[in-house]
Amino acid sequence: MGENVVEVQILGRKLHIAHDGNEDYVREIAEFVNDKMERIQTESKSSTTLNVSILTALDIADELFKQIGQHRKVCEQIDKKCIDLVNYIDSKL
């Protein structure tokens, strides 16, 4: 599988990112990260890119963990409803 490379800019730095064919997706992710980093840089008034990067990683990880928790909760609700439905169907047979 050949690699394609897309150039993106994050916090004013040009980066060349290898991808497997979906350049728009890579650009969308890069824009998401850049927007987060710019927001965090403004809000934290941090002067170092490393600190901004760490705070951004923590912020994105927090969002991910919250989404995983919500996903689990929905899956548990679906599982319960499926069990209830199977039990209902079994009771009618």
Q: What is the pLDDT of residue 45?
A: 78
What is the number of domains present in the chain?
Answer: 1
Question: Is residue 2 pLDDT above 70, yes or no?
Answer: no
Question: Is residue 1 pLDDT above 70, yes or no?
Answer: no
- pLDDT digit string, tens, across residues 61-73: 999 999 999 999 9
Question: Terminal CA-to-CA distance of the chain, rounded, Å?
Answer: 53
Q: Which domain holds residue 22?
A: 4-92
Q: What is the distance between the alpha carbons of residues 24 and 35, in angstroms, rounded to a whole number? A: 16
- pLDDT digit string, tens, across residues 5-63: 999 999 999 999 999 889 999 999 999 999 999 999 999 877 799 999 999 999 999 99
Q: What is the pTM of this model?
A: 0.78
